[in-house]
């Protein structure tokens, strides 16, 4: 058995890698626990650590942001806001091929999201007017993961749907480098997407700043974008003070593979998702033990050429692996119960199985439709529900940046007719003031 990429029977996998742990009870890695102990001088869970950071930023604003950036990112910042000049110059500072790729991806993302219907409607019927008005939120905050792997693709995937929806102000928070700067590729993406301002702050402290506002960072109406465990916990804890798109991170992938799947391609796709984060989950589910062994061998071979091999090893060893099931029907059921962020069907005639998928953030049909292409340029946003929330949540779209307002404009006759019904129901609920207000509209 591969130490790096274990092969499990289903029952064992359900205990180890398919088991869902509530977000506020996730313990993280041993290294994470050690770091938290050093930072706070006591043993804290990730949930408790995030709560401390949020409370501090809410209380002290910019001063707390600068302190936490120094403590967590080892970066001493003079200012939080990136200058407009830096944003404007960034496009000329990166390779032309990279800039062209950003613009190509932006065009694909825009074309996809402009197809999403957002129609308001008003029905002038015999009762008067009834309808709904769809309107954008005013101010959106985007969290863009950074640090060792800055993700301009996330900026595009979040900002472009917001612009299409009509959001008036869009702000970005992203971790600074050790030199205290934001990478040019992030700034070039911000320029491409028409971002209003970029702030060099990351982690839970960035979520707190956007939720409540500080001296430098405006309070927003909704925070979107994926992040690591601490970012996701922070979004969960500030919800209510601000809207969120969902709980988007750490990354997770299930690949269902039959005996026609390419072990090399499956391994490459698993490695790609595992390199996001030590807490990422990359799993293949298959009835074919032979295939699982070949995939494990490919994982061992391919990892040697990868720059983030240390992150991948930690992710694969603790949370990845192959799960052996009875047949493809059982594989599909395993995936539906897990409700993964990404579900790839590396099987013959994958479209025939699409109707069997009940819960997944995004579905990739066939080996040519790999998650990486969805991550960058296919069109749909790669900000997708994780942690099992695909059972009830959707991937980021234009709908995340709008709200619907119901319109009721009844004439006197309709008010009289509905008043009789409303009065009866109000009295049945024991709400006599409601009943009296309805009764006042009844024509004698």
**Do 315 and 369 sit in the same domain of this protein?**
yes
Q: Is residue 2 very low, low, confident or very high in pLDDT (cuts 50, 70, 90)?
A: low
| Domain limits for position 319 | 7-21+250-391
Residue range 110-132, pLDDT digits in tens: 999 999 999 999 999 899 999 99
Do the domain assignments include residue 202? yes
Q: Tell me if 59 is assigned to some domain.
A: no
Residue 297 lies in a domain: yes
Asked whether residue 270 is domain-assigned, the answer is yes
Contact between residue 266 and residue 295 where contact means Cβ atoms under 8 Å apart: yes
* 192 and 258 inside one domain: no
Do residues 264 and 384 share a domain?
yes
How many domains is the chain built from?
Answer: 3
- Are residues 283 and 323 in contact, defined by beta-carbon separation less than 8 angstroms? yes
Q: Are residues 350 and 428 in the same domain?
A: no
The arithmetic mean of pLDDT across residues 322-343, rounded, is: 98
Cα(171)–Cα(243) distance, integer angstroms: 15
Looking at the fold, whether 281 and 295 belong to one and the same domain comes out as yes
**Residue 38 resides in a domain:** no
Instruction: Quote the mean pLDDT of the chain.
Output: 95
Based on the fold, state whether residues 306 and 425 are members of the same structural domain: no
pTM assigned to the model: 0.93
Residue 1 has pLDDT above 60, yes or no: no
Please indicate, yes or no, if residue 367 is contained in any of the structural domains. yes
- 382 pLDDT more than 90: yes
60, pLDDT greater than 90: yes
Domain co-membership, 241 together with 254? no
- Mean pLDDT for the stretch of residues 286-302: 97
Query: What pLDDT was estimated at residue 290?
Result: 97
Task: Tell me if 54 is assigned to some domain.
Answer: no
Burial 397-426 (b: 16+ CB within 10 A, else e): bbbbbbeeeeeeebeeebbeeebeebbeeb
Beta bridge partners of 257: 346
**What's the whole-number mean pLDDT along residues 401-405?**
97
377 and 417 belong to one structural domain:
no
275 and 420, same domain (yes or no): no
Based on the fold, state whether residues 265 and 385 are members of the same structural domain: yes
> How far is 386 from 339, CA to CA, in rounded Å?
8
Q: Are residues 288 and 423 in the same domain?
A: no
| Catalytic positions, written as ranges | 341-342
């Amino acid at each position: 058995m591969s130490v790096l990429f274990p092969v499990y029977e289903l029952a064992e996998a359900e205990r180890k890698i398919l088991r869902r742990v509530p977000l506020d009870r996730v313990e993280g890695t041993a290294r994470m626990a050690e770091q938290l102990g050093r930072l706070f001088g006591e043993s804290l869970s990730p949930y408790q650590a995030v709560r401390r950071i949020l409370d501090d930023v809410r209380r002290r604003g910019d001063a707390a942001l600068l302190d936490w950036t120094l403590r967590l990112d080892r970066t001493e910042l003079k200012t939080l806001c990136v200058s407009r000049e830096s944003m404007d110059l960034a496009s000329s500072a990166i390779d032309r091929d990279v800039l062209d790729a950003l613009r190509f991806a932006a065009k694909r993302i825009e074309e996809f999201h402009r197809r999403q219907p957002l129609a308001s409607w008003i029905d002038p019927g015999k009762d008067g007017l009834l309808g709904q008005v769809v309107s954008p939120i005013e101010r959106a905050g985007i969290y863009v993961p950074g640090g060792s792997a800055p993700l301009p693709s996330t900026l595009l995937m979040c900002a472009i749907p917001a612009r299409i929806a009509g959001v008036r102000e869009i702000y970005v928070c992203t971790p600074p480098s050790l030199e205290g700067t934001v990478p040019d590729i992030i700034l070039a993406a911000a320029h491409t997407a028409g971002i209003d301002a970029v702030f060099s702050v990351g982690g839970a402290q960035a979520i707190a700043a956007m939720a409540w506002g500080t001296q430098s960072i405006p309070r927003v109406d909704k925070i979107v974008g994926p992040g690591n465990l601490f970012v996701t916990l922070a979004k969960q804890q500030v919800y209510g003070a601000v809207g969120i798109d969902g709980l988007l991170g750490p990354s997770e992938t299930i690949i269902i593979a039959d005996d026609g799947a390419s072990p090399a391609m499956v391994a490459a796709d698993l490695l790609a998702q595992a390199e996001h984060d030590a807490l990422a989950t990359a799993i293949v589910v298959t009835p074919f033990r032979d295939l699982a062994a070949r995939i494990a061998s490919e994982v061992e071979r391919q990892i040697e050429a990868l720059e983030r091999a240390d992150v991948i090893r930690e992710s694969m060893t603790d949370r990845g692996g192959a799960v052996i099931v009875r047949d493809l029907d059982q594989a599909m059921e395993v995936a539906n119960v897990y409700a993964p962020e990404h579900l790839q069907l590396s099987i013959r005639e994958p479209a025939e199985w699409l109707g069997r998928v009940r819960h997944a953030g995004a579905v990739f049909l066939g080996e040519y439709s790999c998650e990486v292409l969805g991550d960058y340029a296919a069109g749909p946003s790669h900000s997708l529900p994780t942690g099992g929330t695909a059972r009830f949540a959707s991937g980021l779209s234009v709908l995340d940046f709008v709200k619907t307002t119901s319109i009721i404009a009844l004439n006197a006759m309709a008010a009289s007719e509905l008043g009789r019904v409303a009065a009866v129901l109000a009295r049945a609920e024991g709400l006599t003031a409601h009943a009296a207000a309805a009764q006042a509209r009844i024509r004698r």
